[in-house]
Structure 1
Amino acid sequence: MTIDKVYESPQAAVADVPDGASVSIAGFGMTHSFPTSLTVALREQGARQLCIVANSLGTGDYRSNTLIENGQVNRLIVSFSARAGEATSAAEKQILAGEIEVELVPQGTLVERLRAGGAGIGAFFTRTAVGTTVSEGKETRVIDGVEHVLETALKVDYALIRATRADRFGNLEFEGVGRNFMPAFAKGARIAIAEVDEIIDGELNPESIGLPGIFVSRVVRKTVEVPHDFPAPREGRGADSARTYHGKQALTRRQMAETAAGLLPNGSYVNLGLGIPTLISNYIEGRDITLHSENGVLGYGTIASREDYNPEVYNAGGQYVHLQPGASFFESVTSFEMVRGGKVDFVALGAFEVDGAANLANWSTPSMVGGGIGGAMDLVAGEVNVMVLMTHCDSGGRPKLVKNCEYPLTGRNCVDLVVTDLCVLRRAGDVFRLESIAPGFTAAEIAELTELELDLGEFGE
């Protein structure tokens, strides 16, 4: 019998998905790497009471959220159920109404749980999420003097993934960062279904295979062409936007990123998180700094323009970027190995709050239904220098540098540097020391707008 895993259509490939099935659907951010043809086919097929496992639900008629809008989902295991600043989604409305149960999982833990499920590993201990709401009710253990949380393996009935090309054996080939979640999602599934741009006549070069066919049950050529839009910044939050304090303009987001870039030492491996940190990539050109992104790229540089971007190369914020010499691509499991294994030197993240104990809160606020953990809990869990970039106060004038975080924690005692639109603070023992001040402002003004205890250093003399 000759192996042939090719199905005639996406509809045929998902025809046997029953009510109550668990389905992992790969995809990154709001629009990238989603198996759109398979998702649309599953919507048309109509299976109900589904448990969807995903990093992000995406947006529009072609991604995971469309199944929720169609009333087919009653449970979610995701890294993002909501995003700050985005319009309320169907998922949020149904979660709030009690129609959908949701479990939020850090991104690195999610892929590791799926990988473990496919590898016959029942559970594992991780430093990720220690001391946060995510670890509540779970077993913890001190290993080598460090507290760890027990996470169980995750198996699903079906996985919907995408790749660039396949052969009849089910071998898959990816381009750029397109492999991100695909291997882990496929391995954790009883039946993995791959949607591809091309099914070749013959076989793939063994050297180019990103996922061996043993992990893939079905392949199908895509049938849905998704309109592609170049991402634009949200209104009022462009790189040159700036807040005003005491009638004076603070640093723009672009200036904050440039300041942060100047604090990174040469020879560093640096991860840039969502929001303002992504702009740092525009200010390291020519320096010996290598940028890492959890979606699977090491060695990228400046943000690309509409005229010169590659749709298969984007950063953690979903922005298209240029590659640097020596760049490499890999899956998300490998990416988080680099972080938790101590290979990444600096992590730059946005935040809602940082408190006097160097605790970080950046994934949920009281106005959000659930939240967006993403990879942040994994990124701050290892031996890494954590730099936070954020405005000094929120849009309502509330200080973000507080005595004690009121919002759910991302990590405990993990923040080393804070760059705001008014100053730079560096952790020194039990306090943050004022290291520099934005032009036109004084140390007294900084202190007035800061709740946590400050060491004014040379500015207090």
Structure 2
Amino acid sequence: MSMGVDTRNRIAKRAAQEIQDGMIVNLGIGIPSLVPNHLPPHLNVMFHAENGILGIGKSPAKGKEDPTLCNAGGFPVTTVPGASFFDSATAFGMIRSGYLDVTILGGLEVSETGDLANWIVPGKRVPGIGGAMELAKKAKKVIIVMNHCNKNGDPKILKTCTLPLTAKACVSLIITDMAVIEVIPQGLLLKEVMAPHTVEDVIAKTGAPLDICKNIKRLD
């Protein structure tokens, strides 16, 4: 099932609420790259990219792109005051040293124990796992943003991942077009449901047991 622009921005907007003032944050390609567009202007956040930028700003207006300035996915970006540039080795050193407060990544599958598969579908050509493994294991908090189901309508949140893993037991929070689910020691906790879906819809489309938060929220 393909995801429209409005849905992608809705997920990115919800993910942006997890970012606090003063954080250093890394964003994956796709939906995560939309997150800076949804941050309140008073927040002082430094976005990090593996190709060597700390201090990424909002996406540039069409026609205002700088051809020499892009994120790790190759998409044009802007910078904020205080931004810095460095080589890729330094960028990965920052990740591996545990300096990132949050990473927001896309996902292909997430298990009930927080295992993440997000880098390859067998039989399809990809350039490699990239920086996802380091980000998943070394960021203080890992947030996954994705469709709740794949293009065939099958759940992407499962008891056990079927695709090759990026990292084990690394995911803290899952935000989809249907729900917000926290990974806790006991399993998966359904905390929020995206309108027009219901709790029953989310349970039916999730391939792992869900505990339901007592104060579950409904997001319009």
- 1:278 corresponds to 2:33: yes
Match of 1:437 in 2: 193
User: What are the equivalent positions in structure 2 for 1:286-365 lying under 5 Å apart?
Assistant: 286=41, 287-365=43-121
Conserved 8 A contact 1:355-1:402: yes
Please show how residues 391-410 of structure 1 align to structure 2 within 5 Å.
391-410=147-166
Change (3 A) 1:447 1:238: closer
Cα distance change on mapping 1:237 and 1:318 into 2, 3 Å: farther
Q: Which stretch of structure 1 is more off in the superposition, 284-293 or 444-453? A: 284-293
Matches within 5 A, 1:406-425: 406-425=162-181
Q: Is the 8 A contact 2:21 2:44 kept in 1?
A: yes
CA displacement at 1:298 relative to structure 2 = 0.5
Larger gyration radius, structure 1 or structure 2: 1
Kept in 2: contact 1:311–1:320 (CA 8 A): yes
**Distance verdict in 2 for CA 1:451–1:237, change over 3 Å:** closer
Deviation at 1:363, TM superposition (A): 0.8
d(CA) in 1 for partners of 2:15, 2:79: 21
Runs of 4+ in 1 over 2 A off after TM superposition: 236-240, 369-372
Task: Provide the C-alpha distance between the structure 2 equivalents of 1:276 and 1:372, rounded to a whole number of angstroms.
Answer: 20
- The separation in 1 between residues aligned to 2:19 and 2:61, in whole angstroms, is 25
User: Which one-letter code corresponds to 1:271 in the other structure?
Assistant: N
Q: For CA contacts below 8 A with separation 6 or more, give which structure has more relative contact order.
A: 2
With the length of structure 1 as denominator, give the TM-score of the two structures. Answer: 0.45
- 1:130 alignment partner in structure 2: none
**Which residue identity does 1:268 align to in structure 2?**
M
Structure 1's 383 and 268: CA in aligned 2 closer, same or farther, altered over 3 A?
same
| One-letter amino acid of the counterpart of residue 239, structure 1 | V
CA drift of 1:353 comes to 0.2
Distance 2:81 2:213 in 1: 41
Residue 455 in structure 1 maps to residue 208 in structure 2 = no
Rate the CA distance shift 1:238–1:314 in 2: closer, same or farther, 3 A.
farther
Equivalent AA in structure 1 for residue 5 of structure 2: A
**1:303/1:322 contact within 8 Å kept:** yes
Deviations 1:262-300 (A, max 9, x none): 122222110000111111021125112211111110011
Residues in 1 aligned to 2:175 and 2:215: alpha-carbon distance in whole angstroms? 17
- The alignment partner of 1:265 has SS state of coil
Does structure 2 conserve the Cα–Cα contact (< 8 Å) formed by 1:364 and 1:371?
A: no
Structure 1 residue 239 corresponds to structure 2 residue 5: yes
Aligned counterparts, 1:48-447, within 5 A: 239-240=5-6, 252-286=7-41, 287-369=43-125, 372-447=128-203
- The structure-2 alpha-carbon separation of the partners of 1:271 and 1:370, relative to structure 1 and needing over 3 Å to count, comes to closer
Distance 2:99 2:156 in 1: 30
CA contact under 8 A between 2:113 and 2:183: conserved in structure 1?
no
Identity of aligned residues (%): 38
Q: 2:112, 2:183 within 8 Å by CA — same for their partners in 1? A: no
The alpha carbon displacement at 1:238 in A equals 5.6
Quickly say closer, same or farther: Cα 1:383–1:347, change in 2 above 3 A.
closer
Query: In structure 1, how many angstroms separate the alpha carbons of the residues matched to 2:82 and 2:126?
Result: 39
5+ residue gaps in structure 1?
A: 1-235, 241-251
Q: Deviations over 1:131-179 (max 9, x none)?
A: xxxxxxxxxxxxxxxxxxxxxxxxxxxxxxxxxxxxxxxxxxxxxxxxx
Separation in 2, partners of 1:295, 1:265: 24
Amino acid at match of 2:78: H
Match of 1:207 in 2: none
Tell me, which stretches of 5 or more residues in structure 2 are unaligned?
Answer: none
Q: 1:237 to 1:371 in 2, by over 3 A?
A: farther
Q: Is the 8 A contact 2:32 2:105 kept in 1?
A: yes
Q: In the aligned structure 2, how far is the partner of 1:300 from the partner of 1:371?
A: 24
TM-score by length of 2: 0.92
Deviation at 1:317, TM superposition (A): 2.2
Q: CA shift at 1:366, angstroms? A: 2.4
Output the aligned Cα RMSD: 1.6
Q: CA deviation at 1:402?
A: 0.6
**C-alpha displacement of 1:407:** 0.3
